[in-house]
């Protein structure tokens, strides 16, 4: 009895002094990341006053906001390392000798042309896409399409840009959006006028070579009423960068009756933190399609989102993510149904191999106003070997009864019998697995322009070979 | 020396990679103090309780946004009742069954301040029906042999309870938890944790009805081979009831089977939050895990939030989940109408049909009326 | 005249395309009619529209049952008048037992004319006749039933509920020879017991077991040809092009 009394007595003493709350440590900013830097950047770009103000305001928000409490661990991310590179006129290039071997080998295997290699490896400032682009430029001009790098657009189409810039993804969205808002540099501005149907997919390729591009690109796309356009960002070839943080932001406005397709093939080098924010808003009768392929980077967080604001608007979200050795890919989709009779589909496929971790995180929200809406989500995970992890965590919120919502997911592996069968027809083990994986990603591949599809298939072969070996 | 391994709810790690677990937000309320501790007369037990109390005092109560739990007013503590019969075996068992539950704070609260409950050891086929639980309940069951039918009826305005069950090798468990609201203000927080061994069979049916806030946590540790588990949560929500339930099954070893199949009907402004977590660890070869949630919504303002998660760290498994929420199937209604049944009657038949299997099983204990009564009060 | 379908034009509520393009049909009391038509021609639509399936909308035309228009009646009201349909793909109704459904429906259609025990006996006897095990009464309607079991279940329901007019929507599809024989036997019994029949089918096979008063060939949204049983065999042999007069077909007798 006395023992217990003692114990209780001790507890009582502590009770009076115990601090029950964990205090949040104050945010320490990395050296050099301050208002002076922001001013420098803005001045060097010759920006209008409203943009400078925007950067400063974003920076203030960044200082105050807390780190998001979910997703991949970002302990190893050191913001101080990026500071030297966001300064204007920073020398961002490396030498060819410094480019990692695996990147060089990948270029070989994928058959990337000489000129492009230097650009993709961050060695050259610009590669010669001028020729390809020149002809397309003429066509677009006739149609009234504005397709330019975003810094130019900020200066030459100031009002149009101001109306749309970081309105869909405000700096208050999360800490990284705020950082992006302060330091953004490079990106695309695309405006398609009413009723114009752009006959060929536009590629960010065409605008490569922007000064300071890479880390904090900002892209704004406006598809005006009744227009149609496809935009392709990135490429399947690996991209190497000295700075290992990429916080790109994409804002897409699909106006009444317009159709927009945004394709991304991301293959950042395996030391990168790739945190992207992609958001689209669809008005009445608009159709928005996200097609995403995530292959590279060390840690990825990207969730293409569509807000189905208008009645009868439609969202399609097709993605593949490939988590190889040491990679943690946390991707997904977000769809919010607000208008009536809206439709959305999500087809998310993930492949994990060689110890990779693929994590699907989705949000599907049907608001009270979204009567008569239909949504379906399908996630499939293919685990190629037994060292990897595949998770799916969908969040489905249905706030009105007059809607049809379905979700399903399956996680599994390639069966031994399948491999044996293919091998008995002469294929090697990695060829067999490659074939099956390519079949698995078919829905995404068929969305891509021909050259991409070929590159993508080669990429798959390469990844599987290197993981099995 | 507390070397207990707590069964975490979210396990976000893989080799050297880590995912961030969301931080919990808290509320400020009046809480119990050390003086509220009531001795049980069992030193072994009380030592354990005091350790739990020590941890209890380091937490504030959680703030739950989805459920709408923003404040809490605790009742006066009643004399201790619960695990008074605990012996050294029981204590050792208890140490292995530690878990996070709906929230660590609530699990600890029921451990320290319970005013009802029991420590039960089952050696042969037994049937137990419990319908007199108090505001805080703590029950520990060790099924060493045979089959246990355990029916628990909770009909309290305020309830926080822990139920820990160990299903040993070859043993069987049929568990029914009937959580019945008595008024529009009821608060129910139930933490259930089951640890099974090889070749065991566990069948659970939970029924959530009425009250203001119902929060249920069901965690199952399948650190076993050839274990079989079939878990069926049923929910019937009306008025402004919120039912927030989490069903977790974690597979550590090969060849076990687990299925969580949640079904329910919501009307008025009721809301259900279904969180399913099927977690298959590396090494659990040929495990089979299925999870689904199907909600039938029969009013405009009923709401469903479903987070069915699948986490797989072993590729040689079968794992799937599905979730859907929809109004009553028009095709089914048409079929019944073509047999002369008017639309409203047809709809009610279909709604009642959701709970038919549960009712049938409760007939054994003369408790099918409980479900009938609940359905009658909602459907009229 | 038990059933009169007059120039019936109908479509799916949500779509523009018209499926029934002016169907004309008359079925007298005690008669057995068969409708044959190619896949996708809308034969099932006709059955569903007569039954009042809310998925469909009548554009023009009328349906008269026992001399009165039923277009304004809901499905259950039409059932209570004595019209019933066996479904091509009977839906699964989880949670509702077969005996429960039978009992409730019987009471709606025929009131209290028999006691529960009489009805229970009848149900069991019928189960036996169609060759379904007695435990089927305890099972949820159609849940987990095989194709053949579902069709037998439908026929059983019809015999138990004794409608005035029974429309059979492809009751023979997916049945093996034995099951077909059993179902045909049941259809004959229904006829003996006073039910008029409209049999919608794709094959003439079932007509081997039944006597029919008229055979209608349904093509492109309309009844294109009417004849007797021999017409059915001719159609089987030469295909639905018979309607275009490509093959000499003797029509009404």
Interface test with A, best of B62, B310, B314 (most A CBs within 10 A): B310
Interface test with B, best of C75, C111, C142, C156 (most B CBs within 10 A): C75
Beta carbons within 10 angstroms of residue C118's beta carbon: 10
Tell me how far apart the alpha carbons of residues B167 and C118 are, in angstroms, rounded to a whole number.
48
Contacts of B150 (CB under 8 A, 6+ apart): B127, B128, B130, B141, B165, B173, B174, B175, B176
Q: Strand A228-234 vs strand A249-254: parallel, antiparallel, or unpaired?
A: unpaired
Q: Chain C interface residues facing chain B, Cβ-Cβ under 8 Å?
A: 51, 53-55, 74-76, 79-80, 84-85, 87, 90-91, 93-97, 100-101, 104-105, 108-109, 140, 157, 161
Res A29: pLDDT: 66
Question: Is A18 within 8 Å of B19 when comparing Cβ atoms?
Answer: no
Does A161 score more than 90 pLDDT?
yes
C105 in a structural domain = no
Which phi-psi region, left, alpha or beta, contains residue C221 (left: φ > 0; alpha: ψ -120 to 50)? Answer: left
Per-residue confidence at A126, pLDDT binned at 50, 70, 90?
A: very low
Res A18: pLDDT: 54
Query: Distance, in angstroms, between A241 CA and closest chain B CA?
Result: 22
The structure's pTM equals 0.82
Find, among B10, B107, B112, B115, the residue nearest to B62 by Cα.
B107
A-chain CB neighbours of B112 within 8 Å are none
Res A417: pLDDT: 67
A416 contact B CB<8A: no
A351 in a structural domain = no
Mean pLDDT of the A306-331 span: 93
Tell me how far apart the alpha carbons of residues C130 and C148 are, in angstroms, rounded to a whole number.
11
> Which of B283 and C104 is assigned the larger pLDDT?
B283
Contacts of C102 (CB under 8 A, 6+ apart): C119, C123, C137, C157, C160, C161
Question: Is B332 within 8 Å of C54 when comparing Cβ atoms?
Answer: no
C214 in a structural domain = yes
Structure tokens at B46: 């009380």
Does A157 score more than 60 pLDDT?
yes
Question: Is C76 within 8 Å of B343 when comparing Cβ atoms?
Answer: yes
C-chain CB neighbours of B338 within 8 Å are 51, 75-76, 79, 84-85, 87
Tell me how far apart the alpha carbons of residues C11 and A87 are, in angstroms, rounded to a whole number.
67
A115 contact B CB<8A: no
Radius of gyration of chain B, Cα coordinates, nearest whole angstrom? 21
Interface of B with A in 277-306 (CB under 8 A): 282, 295, 297-306
Res C224: pLDDT: 86
Coil, strand, or helix at residue A207? helix
Interaxial angle between packed helices A175-183 and A35-44, expressed in degrees from 0 to 180 and rounded to the nearest 10: 50
Beta carbons within 10 angstroms of residue C71's beta carbon: 13
B-chain CB neighbours of A386 within 8 Å are 282, 314-316
Interface test with A, best of B9, B19, B238 (most A CBs within 10 A): B19
Question: B152 has which bridge partners?
Answer: B130, B177
Structure tokens at A279: 């958001």
Mean pLDDT of the C130-143 span: 88
Coil, strand, or helix at residue B165? strand
Contact A238, A112 (CB under 8 A): no
Does A213 score more than 60 pLDDT?
no
Instruction: Say how many domains are in chain A.
Output: 2
Q: Picking from A205-219, A366-380, B338-352, C189-203, which range would have the lowest pLDDT averaged per residue?
A: A205-219
Tell me how far apart the alpha carbons of residues A369 and A338 are, in angstroms, rounded to a whole number.
6
A293 in a structural domain = yes
Instruction: Say how many domains are in chain C.
Output: 1
CA C167 centroid distance within chain: 2
Let me know whether A288 and A429 are in one domain: no
Give the domain range for residue A59: 19-302
Tell me how far apart the alpha carbons of residues A141 and A147 are, in angstroms, rounded to a whole number.
9
Interface of A with B in 282-311 (CB under 8 A): none
Identify the residue whose tokens are 């099932």.
C44
Question: Is A328 within 8 Å of B14 when comparing Cβ atoms?
Answer: yes
Burial of C143 (0-12, 13-18, 19+ CB in 10 A): middle
Tell me how far apart the alpha carbons of residues A333 and A331 are, in angstroms, rounded to a whole number.
7
Q: What is the DSSP string of A218-273?
A: EEEEEE-TT-EEEEEEE-SS-B--SS-EE--EEEEEE-TT-EEEEEEEE-B-TT-E
B-chain CB neighbours of C82 within 8 Å are none
Per-residue confidence at A341, pLDDT binned at 50, 70, 90?
A: very high
Beta carbons within 10 angstroms of residue A97's beta carbon: 6
Instruction: Using alpha carbons only, give the angle A379, B224, B280 rounded to the nearest 5 degrees.
Output: 20
Chain B: touching chains (3 or more CB pairs < 8 Å) = A, C
Q: Picking from A219-223, B18-22, C21-25, which range would have the lowest pLDDT averaged per residue?
A: B18-22
From first to last of the 380 residues of chain B, give the pLDDT tens digit: 344 578 999 888 888 888 888 888 899 889 999 999 999 999 999 999 999 999 999 899 999 988 888 888 999 999 999 999 999 999 999 999 999 999 999 999 999 999 999 999 999 999 999 999 999 999 999 999 999 999 999 999 999 999 999 999 999 999 999 999 888 899 999 999 999 999 999 999 999 999 999 999 999 999 999 999 999 999 999 999 999 999 999 999 999 999 999 999 999 999 999 999 999 999 999 999 999 999 999 998 899 999 988 999 888 888 888 888 888 888 999 999 999 999 999 999 999 999 999 999 999 999 999 999 999 999 87
Tell me how far apart the alpha carbons of residues B330 and A297 are, in angstroms, rounded to a whole number.
48
Question: Is B339 within 8 Å of C90 when comparing Cβ atoms?
Answer: no
Question: Is B311 within 8 Å of A328 when comparing Cβ atoms?
Answer: no
Give the domain range for residue C9: 3-88+163-243
User: Which of B22, B60, B300 is nearest residue A20 as measured by Cβ atoms?
Assistant: B60
Interface test with C, best of B340, B355, B375 (most C CBs within 10 A): B340
C-chain CB neighbours of B353 within 8 Å are 93-96, 140
A210 in a structural domain = yes
Find, among B91, B231, B328, B306, the residue nearest to A397 by Cα.
B306
Mean pLDDT of the A346-370 span: 92
Burial of C186 (0-12, 13-18, 19+ CB in 10 A): buried
Contacts of A387 (CB under 8 A, 6+ apart): A353, A354, A355, B15
Touch between chain C and chain A: 3 or more Cβ pairs under 8 Å: no
The residues spanned by each domain of chain B are 13-327, 329-379
Does A237 score more than 70 pLDDT?
no
The CATH code of the domain that includes C231 is: 3.40.50.300
C249 in a structural domain = no
A275 in a structural domain = yes
Contact B252, B227 (CB under 8 A): no
Res A127: pLDDT: 47
Question: Is A389 within 8 Å of B311 when comparing Cβ atoms?
Answer: yes
Beta carbons within 10 angstroms of residue A264's beta carbon: 22
Res C253: pLDDT: 33
Touch between chain C and chain B: 3 or more Cβ pairs under 8 Å: yes
Res B18: pLDDT: 85
- Give the domain-ending residue among A302, A335, A356: A302
Res A68: pLDDT: 82
| Residue C180 CA: distances (Å) to CA of C90, C208, C214 | 17, 10, 21
Identify the residue whose tokens are 């009234």.
A144
Find, among B111, B36, B119, the residue nearest to B74 by Cα.
B36
Mean pLDDT of the A169-195 span: 90
Query: Over the stretch C37-79, which tens digit does the pLDDT of each residue have?
Result: 888 788 889 999 998 888 899 999 999 999 999 999 988 888 8
Burial of B315 (0-12, 13-18, 19+ CB in 10 A): buried
Interface of A with B in 342-401 (CB under 8 A): 355, 357, 359, 368, 381, 383-401
| B354: nearest CA partner in chain C | C95
Query: Over the stretch A39-67, which tens digit does the pLDDT of each residue have?
Result: 888 888 889 999 999 999 999 998 888 88
Question: Is B331 within 8 Å of C91 when comparing Cβ atoms?
Answer: yes
Query: Over the stretch A405-456, which tens digit does the pLDDT of each residue have?
Result: 888 888 888 777 677 777 776 677 777 788 788 888 877 788 887 777 887 8
| C81: nearest CA partner in chain B | B340
| A382: nearest CA partner in chain B | B315
Per-residue confidence at C245, pLDDT binned at 50, 70, 90?
A: low
Contacts of C1 (CB under 8 A, 6+ apart): C26, C27, C28, C29, C64, C67
| B59: nearest CA partner in chain A | A20
Percentage of residues of chain A with pLDDT beyond 90? 34
C-chain CB neighbours of B352 within 8 Å are 95
Res C64: pLDDT: 96
Res A402: pLDDT: 85
Residue count of chain A: 469
Find, among B103, B139, B134, B109, the residue nearest to B33 by Cα.
B109
Interface test with B, best of C54, C76, C101, C168 (most B CBs within 10 A): C76
Res B218: pLDDT: 97
A-chain CB neighbours of B320 within 8 Å are 408-411
Per-residue confidence at C237, pLDDT binned at 50, 70, 90?
A: confident
Query: Over the stretch C70-103, which tens digit does the pLDDT of each residue have?
Result: 999 988 888 889 999 898 888 787 777 888 888 8
Q: Picking from A137-141, A220-224, A415-419, which range would have the lowest pLDDT averaged per residue?
A: A415-419
Distance from the first to the final alpha carbon of chain C: 19
Interaxial angle between packed helices C147-161 and C177-192, expressed in degrees from 0 to 180 and rounded to the nearest 10: 10
Coil, strand, or helix at residue B21? coil
C-chain CB neighbours of B236 within 8 Å are none
Contact B273, B305 (CB under 8 A): yes
């Amino acid at each position: 009895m006395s023992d217990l009394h003692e114990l209780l007595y001790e507890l009582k003493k502590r009770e009076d002094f115990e601090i029950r709350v964990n205090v949040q440590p104050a945010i320490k900013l990395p050296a050099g990341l301050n208002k002076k830097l922001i001013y420098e950047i803005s001045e060097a770009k010759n920006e209008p006053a409203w943009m400078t103000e925007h950067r400063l305001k974003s920076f203030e928000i960044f200082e105050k906001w807390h780190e998001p409490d979910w997703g991949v661990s970002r302990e190893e991310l050191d913001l101080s390392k990026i500071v030297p590179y966001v300064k204007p006129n920073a020398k961002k290039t490396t030498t060819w000798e410094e480019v990692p071997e695996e990147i060089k080998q990948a270029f070989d295997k994928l058959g990337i042309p000489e000129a492009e290699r230097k650009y993709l490896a961050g060695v050259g400032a610009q590669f010669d896409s001028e020729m390809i682009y020149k002809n397309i430029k003429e066509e677009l001009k006739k149609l009234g399409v504005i397709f330019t790098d975003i810094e130019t657009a900020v200066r030459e189409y100031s009002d149009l840009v101001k109306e749309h810039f970081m309105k869909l993804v405000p700096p208050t969205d999360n800490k990284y959006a705020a950082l992006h808002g302060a330091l953004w540099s490079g990106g695309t501005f695309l405006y398609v006028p009413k009723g114009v149907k752009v006959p060929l997919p536009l590629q960010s390729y065409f605008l490569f070579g922007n000064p300071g591009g890479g880390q904090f690109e900002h892209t704004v796309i406006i598809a005006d009423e009744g227009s149609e356009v496809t935009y392709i960002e990135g490429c399947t070839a690996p991209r190497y960068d000295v700075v290992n943080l990429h916080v790109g932001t994409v804002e897409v406005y699909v106006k009444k009756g317009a159709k927009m397709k945004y394709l991304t093939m991301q293959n950042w080098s395996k030391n990168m933190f790739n945190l992207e924010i992609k958001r689209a808003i669809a008005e009445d009768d608009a159709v928005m399609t996200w097609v995403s392929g995530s292959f590279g980077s060390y840690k990825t967080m990207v969730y293409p989102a569509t807000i189905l604001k208008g009645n009868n608007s439609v969202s399609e979200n097709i993605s593949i993510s490939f988590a190889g050795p040491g990679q943690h890919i946390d991707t997904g989709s977000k769809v919010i149904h607000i208008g009536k009779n809206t439709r959305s589909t999500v087809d998310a496929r993930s492949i994990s191999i060689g110890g990779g971790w693929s994590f699907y995180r989705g949000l599907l929200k049907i608001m009270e106003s979204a009567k008569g809406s239909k949504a379906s989500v399908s996630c499939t995970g293919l685990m190629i070997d037994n060292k990897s992890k595949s998770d799916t965590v969908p969040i489905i919120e249905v706030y009105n009864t007059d809607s049809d919502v379905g979700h399903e997911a399956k996680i599994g592996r390639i069966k031994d019998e399948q491999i044996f069968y293919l091998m008995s027809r002469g294929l090697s083990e990695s060829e067999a697995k490659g074939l099956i994986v390519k079949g698995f990603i078919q829905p995404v591949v068929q969305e891509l322009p021909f050259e991409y599809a070929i590159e993508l298939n080669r990429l798959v072969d390469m990844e599987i070979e290197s993981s099995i070996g | 020396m507390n070397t207990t391994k707590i069964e975490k709810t979210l396990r976000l790690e893989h080799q050297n990679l880590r995912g961030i677990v969301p931080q919990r937000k808290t509320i400020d309320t009046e809480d119990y103090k050390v003086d509220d501790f009531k001795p049980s007369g069992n030193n072994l037990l009380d030592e354990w309780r005091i350790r739990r109390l020590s941890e209890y005092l380091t937490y504030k109560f959680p703030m739950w946004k989805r459920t709408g739990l923003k404040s809490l007013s605790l009742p006066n503590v009643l004399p201790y009742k619960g695990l008074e019969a605990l012996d050294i075996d029981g204590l050792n068992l208890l140490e292995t069954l530690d878990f996070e539950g709906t929230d660590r704070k609530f699990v600890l609260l029921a451990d320290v301040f319970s005013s009802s409950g029991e420590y039960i050891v089952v050696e042969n086929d037994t049937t137990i029906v419990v319908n007199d639980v108090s505001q805080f309940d703590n029950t520990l069951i060790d099924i060493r042999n045979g089959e246990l039918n355990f029916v628990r009826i909770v009909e309290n305005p305020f309830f926080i309870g822990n139920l820990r069950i160990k299903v040993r090798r070859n043993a069987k468990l049929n568990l029914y938890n009937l959580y019945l609201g008595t008024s529009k203000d009821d608060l129910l927080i139930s933490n259930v944790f089951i640890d099974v061994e090889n070749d065991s069979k566990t069948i659970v049916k939970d029924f959530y009805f009425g009250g203001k806030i119902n929060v249920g946590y069901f965690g199952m540790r399948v650190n076993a081979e050839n274990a079989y588990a079939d878990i069926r949560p049923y929910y019937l929500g009306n008025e402004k009831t919120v039912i927030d339930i989490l069903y977790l099954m974690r597979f550590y070893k090969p060849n076990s089977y687990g299925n969580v199949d949640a079904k329910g009907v919501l009307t008025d402004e009721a809301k259900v939050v279904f969180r399913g977590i099927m977690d298959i660890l590396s090494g659990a070869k040929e495990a089979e895990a299925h999870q689904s949630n199907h909600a039938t919504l029969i009013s405009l303002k009923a709401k469903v939030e479903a987070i069915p998660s699948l986490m797989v760290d072993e590729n040689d498994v079968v794992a799937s989940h599905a979730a859907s929420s929809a109004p009553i199937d028009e095709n089914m209604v048409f079929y019944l109408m073509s047999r002369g049944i008017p639309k409203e009657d047809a709809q009610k038949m279909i709604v009642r049909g959701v709970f038919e299997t549960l009712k049938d099983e409760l007939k054994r204990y003369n408790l099918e009326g409980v479900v009938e009564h609940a359905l009658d009060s909602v459907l009229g | 005249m038990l059933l009169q379908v007059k120039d019936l034009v109908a479509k799916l509520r949500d779509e523009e395309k018209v499926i029934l393009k002016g169907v004309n049909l008359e079925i007298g009391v005690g008669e057995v009619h068969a409708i044959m038509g190619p896949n996708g021609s809308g034969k099932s639509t006709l059955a569903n529209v007569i039954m009042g399936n809310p998925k469909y909308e009548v554009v023009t035309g009328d349906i008269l049952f026992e001399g009165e228009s039923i277009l304004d009646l809901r499905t259950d009201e039409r059932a209570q008048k004595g019209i019933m349909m066996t479904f091509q793909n009977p839906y699964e109704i989880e949670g509702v037992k077969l005996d429960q459904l039978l009992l409730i429906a019987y009471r709606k259609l025929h009131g209290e004319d028999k006691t529960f025990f009489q009805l229970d006996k009848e149900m069991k006897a019928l189960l036996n006749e169609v060759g379904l095990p007695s435990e089927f009464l305890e099972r949820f309607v159609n849940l987990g039933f095989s194709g053949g079991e579902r069709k037998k279940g439908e026929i059983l329901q019809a015999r138990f509920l004794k409608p005035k007019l029974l429309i059979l929507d492809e009751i023979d599809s997916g049945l093996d020879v034995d099951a077909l024989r059993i179902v045909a036997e049941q259809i004959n019994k229904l006829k003996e017991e006073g039910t008029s029949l409209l049999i919608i089918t794709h094959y003439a096979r079932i007509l081997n077991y039944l006597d029919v008063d008229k055979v209608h060939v349904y093509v492109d949204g309309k009844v294109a040809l009417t004849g007797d049983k021999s017409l059915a065999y001719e159609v089987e042999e030469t295909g639905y092009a018979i309607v275009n007069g490509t093959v000499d077909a003797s029509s009404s007798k």
